[in-house]
Amino acid sequence: MAILEGRNLRKTYRLSKKNKVEALKGVEISIESGEMVAIMGPSGSGKSTLMHLLGLLHSPDPNHGPAPELYLGDQNVASLSDDERTKIRARRMGFVFQDFNLVPTLTAIENVLLACDYAGIKGKAAREAALEALGLVGLADRAGHKPAELSGGEQQRVAIARALVNKPEIILADEPTGNLDSDRSAEVLALLRQFNREHGQTIVLVTHDAEVGEACDRVIRMRDGRIRDNGLRAAAPAMAVDAVAVPA
Ligand SMILES: Nc1ncnc2c1ncn2[C@@H]1O[C@H](COP(=O)(O)OP(=O)(O)OP(=O)(O)O)[C@@H](O)[C@H]1O
Ligand SMILES: [Mg+2]
């Protein structure tokens, strides 16, 4: 079953009356529940914009032609209010952003606790969950460190702990390994794969790294605001009996 399904997704950024960028030009995408999918494509092709739509951070443009549709399970979420989107996001989705997006004045555990707070989980239950999530990414002993007191890879792992803490059904990660060396990158990838296998979480990640793409179940390729290849193999056509060459 598809957990995320989008049709006619367009997004135009208008900088002025004359200056606009068509970042998404009509995207159709379908992500199955429990899949770990990579989105790849050149810089500027619309990957982050698409992630923002899939993660309900931004709304698709209301089209002149066919209306945009975005289904989360069987609910059309394309035209929900900001409030409703925020609620769904906090409870059902976890994000790892391209630039980590940690709050510099907060410690690792406080950064993770923010995600609990957004989902309405507070007090002791939240602290326990935050510590558990930091433990899962191997950072229990760094809970009191602020981002500047952590390495790049550790900051990335705090961001992942924050994305995982509420055990969301869907994890959206925008270049989760983009700023990491190859060892750390493999570690983060293994961690995401572990969550995917053990908890059946659906993971959509953006990457420029072909090896990361290969480690996923499927690679969706974007170019110039469109999906160029959705990575699905066409079902092999049933072979007609009379088409089989019979050796003479
Ligand atoms: N807030 C914005 N305002 C105006 N234009 C934007 C904005 N965000 C993105 N764009 C433009 O939209 C296009 C798609 O951007 P997007 O960030 O989705 O690309 P990307 O595929 O994630 O690239 P990268 O691999 O460099 O992260 C680019 O041409 C970009 O310049
Ligand atoms: Mg991007």
- Cα 40 to ligand 1 centre (Å): 14
Nearest ligand for residue 174 CA = 2
pLDDT at 219: 97
Beta-bridge mates of residue 12: 22
| Ligand 1 nearest atom to the CA of residue 45, by list position | 21
Cα separations (Å) of 92 from 46, 95, 229?
Answer: 23, 10, 27
Cα(56)–Cα(34) distance, rounded to whole angstroms?
A: 19
Pocket test for ligand 1, best of 16, 25, 27, 48 (most atoms within 8 A of CB): 48
pLDDT at 237: 59
Q: What is the CATH number of domain 35-60+81-233?
A: 3.40.50.300
Q: Kindly write down the DSSP assignment for every residue of 70-107, as one continuous string.
A: EEETTEE-TT--HHHHHHHHHHHEEEE-TT----TTS-
Q: Which residue, by CA, sits nearest to atom 12 of ligand 1?
A: 23
pLDDT digit string (tens) for the chain, length 248 residues = 899 999 999 999 998 888 999 999 999 999 999 999 999 999 999 999 999 999 999 999 987 778 999 999 999 998 888 899 998 998 899 988 877 789 999 999 999 999 999 889 999 999 999 999 999 888 999 999 999 999 888 898 899 999 989 989 999 999 988 877 788 788 888 889 998 999 899 999 999 999 999 999 999 999 999 999 999 876 655 555 555 555 55
Cα(205)–Cα(219) distance, rounded to whole angstroms?
A: 10
pLDDT at 173: 94
Are the beta carbons of 132 and 195 closer than 8 angstroms? no
- 49 CB under 6 A from ligand 1? yes
Are the beta carbons of 100 and 155 closer than 8 angstroms? yes
Q: Which residue, by CA, sits nearest to atom 18 of ligand 1?
A: 46
Q: What is the dihedral of CA 206, 212, 213, 215, to 10 degrees?
A: -130
- 43 CB under 6 A from ligand 1? yes
In the chain, the N- to C-terminal Cα span, in Å, equals 46
Cα(44)–Cα(35) distance, rounded to whole angstroms?
A: 25
Domain boundaries, the chain: 35-60+81-233
> In a 3-state reduction of DSSP, which class is residue 30?
strand
Are the beta carbons of 201 and 169 closer than 8 angstroms? yes
